[in-house]
């Protein structure tokens, strides 16, 4: 839904045809190709991750099927020294920030090492946040630190439509507005919060207008139009870096997949709604636009898919070669001063591990 007081941006219609005056980035063929390639890689990564979950090699996984434009646009708009504070449906942007595919798989395999990004670019980014909306406040903390240090950097934080109903989200908007923090809130409105539809989530026509009460500009973009998402996020990040304050951007998209691999959306979601949403998905849209300008064809598509599959295969092999974590790690980074009962538990665990010949699992 829209609201006359809330700006809405879309440049490409669902068939990839321009429906408004195009922004300068539409002529940047290199950028558009990069966005396209990353969206395809994200989608293929998702497919691979689901296959790994189905064969018991990783745990629960949250796909971003249909929402690839949001993460990829954000990844392209962020500068190396900005900070990303993501939620769990953010593989697209994480990969662009330098998180390695095997790290993302490690994380979803329940291994903390997946959040210790090796790439220096991603090192200051936060790990995936599963507790709904709490990351919005962490993002404000980071943004406040940047302000205090007088740095010209920005923080981007993401969340779902459901997360906007949480107190944490509203408190974060409030403090961001009160302190004029360099933070950009990006809502991935995929229309569902597990089985709760957007229509039941909130009485306001848009989620973007929640910004108004906090004194923050709020706007909507077509989250399936990567040009719109990129243009508006880039402007908001630049505003934040220049000390002009926070922005809230609601990206309208659709969750084409189940909520996670632990969900079966066919139990609560009409098939017709899902098929209608497929007609608006972001990859086909950018592909059609690129093709209309002579910048994409069937051969390039096939080459890209083969290239991505080969990259994925190598990442899975690296992931499977990584040994088990040191069991001691479950006790680390929890307390500044070590509590005695935990010391006993750690000793007991070490003895058991030693009895099993160094294997944490039997």
Ligand X SMILES: Cc1ncc(C[n+]2csc(CCOP(=O)(O)OP(=O)(O)O)c2C)c(N)n1
CB of 85 to Mg ion, least distance (A): 18
Which chain residues interact with Mg ion by CB under 5 A?
A: 160-161, 190, 193
**162 touching ligand X, by CB under 6 A:** yes
CA 216 to chain centre: 22
**89 touching ligand X, by CB under 6 A:** yes
d(CA 252, CA 120): 32
**44 touching ligand X, by CB under 6 A:** no
Instruction: Give the contact letters, 164-193, x = binds to ligand X (CB under 6 A), - = no.
Output: ------------------------x-x-xx
- Partner interacting with residue 114 (select from Mg ion, ligand X, none; CB below 5-8 Å by kind): none
Which residue among 43, 100, 255, 285 is the active-site one? Answer: 255
- 268 as an active site residue: the answer is yes
**255 touching ligand X, by CB under 6 A:** yes
Which residue among 100, 259, 280, 285 is the active-site one? Answer: 259
**What residue is closest to ligand X based on CB?**
160
**210 touching ligand X, by CB under 6 A:** no
Q: Site for ligand X (CB under 6 A): which residue of 20, 29, 80, 131?
A: 131
CB of 76 to ligand X, least distance (A): 21
Q: Site for ligand X (CB under 6 A): which residue of 71, 86, 109, 160?
A: 160
Which residue among 268, 293, 352, 356 is the active-site one? Answer: 268
- Residue pair 163/91 in contact by the 8 Å Cβ criterion: no
* Contact range with ligand X by CB under 6 A, out of 95-103, 135-143, 161-169, 264-272: 161-169
Binding residues for ligand X restricted to 313-332, rule: CB under 6 A: none
- Partner interacting with residue 95 (select from Mg ion, ligand X, none; CB below 5-8 Å by kind): none
Please state, as a whole number, how many other Cβ atoms lie within 10 Å of the Cβ of residue 166.
16
d(CA 283, CA 263): 24
CB of 195 to Mg ion, least distance (A): 11
For the record, the structure tokens of 356 come out as: 């099993």
- In sequence order, what DSSP letters do the residues of 15-57 get, joined into one string? TS-B-SPPPGGGG-HHHHHHHHHHHHHHHHHHHHHHHHHHTTS
- Partner interacting with residue 132 (select from Mg ion, ligand X, none; CB below 5-8 Å by kind): ligand X
**75 touching ligand X, by CB under 6 A:** no
Smaller CB separation from Mg ion, 88 or 319: 88
- Residue pair 26/32 in contact by the 8 Å Cβ criterion: yes
Q: Could you tell me where the beta strands, DSSP code E, fall in the chain?
A: 8-9, 83-85, 155-160, 183-189, 192-193, 196-197, 218-222, 247-252
CA 263 to chain centre: 19
d(CA 47, CA 152): 38
d(CA 340, CA 333): 15
Give the HSE-up count for residue 315: Cα atoms under 13 Å, Cβ half-sphere.
22
Q: Could you tell me where the beta strands, DSSP code E, fall in 196-354?
A: 196-197, 218-222, 247-252
Smaller CB separation from Mg ion, 62 or 316: 62
Smaller CB separation from ligand X, 132 or 308: 132
Compute, in degrees rounded to 10, the torsion defined by CA atoms 259, 263, 268, 272.
Answer: 60
Where along the sequence are the contacts to ligand X (CB under 6 A)?
89, 130-132, 159-163, 188, 190, 192-194, 255, 259
Q: Which residues are catalytic?
A: 255, 259, 268
């Amino acid at each position: 839904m829209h609201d006359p007081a809330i700006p809405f941006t879309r440049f490409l219609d669902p068939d990839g045809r321009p429906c408004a005056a195009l922004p300068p980035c539409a002529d940047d063929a290199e950028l558009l190709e990069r966005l396209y390639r990353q969206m395809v890689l994200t989608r293929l990564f998702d497919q691979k991750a689901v296959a790994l979950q189905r064969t018991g090699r990783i745990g629960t996984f949250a796909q971003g099927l249909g929402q690839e434009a949001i993460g990829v646009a954000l990844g392209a708009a962020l500068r190396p020294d900005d900070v990303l504070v993501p939620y769990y449906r953010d593989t697209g942007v994480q990969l662009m920030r330098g998180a390695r595919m095997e790290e993302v798989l490690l994380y979803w395999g329940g291994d903390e090492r997946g959040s210790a990004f090796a790439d220096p670019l991603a090192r200051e980014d936060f790990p995936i946040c599963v507790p709904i909306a709490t990351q919005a406040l962490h993002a404000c903390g980071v943004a406040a630190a940047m302000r205090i240090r007088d740095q010209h950097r920005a923080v981007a934080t993401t969340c779902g439509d459901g997360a906007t109903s949480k107190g944490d989200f509203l408190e974060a908007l409030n403090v961001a507005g009160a302190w004029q923090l360099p933070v950009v809130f990006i809502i991935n409105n995929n229309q569902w919060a597990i089985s709760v539809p957007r229509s039941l989530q909130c009485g306001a026509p848009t989620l973007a207008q929640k910004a108004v009460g906090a004194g923050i500009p709020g706007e909507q973009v077509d989250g399936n139009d990567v040009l719109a998402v990129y243009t508006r996020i880039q402007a908001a990040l630049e505003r934040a870096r220049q000390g002009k304050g926070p922005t809230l951007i609601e990206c309208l998209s659709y969750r084409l997949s189940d909520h996670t691999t632990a969900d079966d959306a066919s139990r609560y979601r009409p098939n017709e709604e899902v098929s209608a949403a497929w007609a608006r998905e972001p990859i086909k849209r950018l592909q059609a636009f690129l093709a209309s300008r002579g910048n994409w064809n069937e051969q390039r598509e096939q080459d890209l898919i083969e290239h991505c599959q080969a990259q994925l295969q190598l990442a899975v092999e690296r992931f499977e070669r990584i040994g088990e974590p040191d069991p001691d790690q479950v006790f680390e980074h929890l307390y500044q001063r070590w509590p005695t009962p935990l010391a006993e538990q750690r000793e007991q665990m070490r003895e058991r591990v030693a009895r099993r010949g160094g294997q944490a699992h039997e």
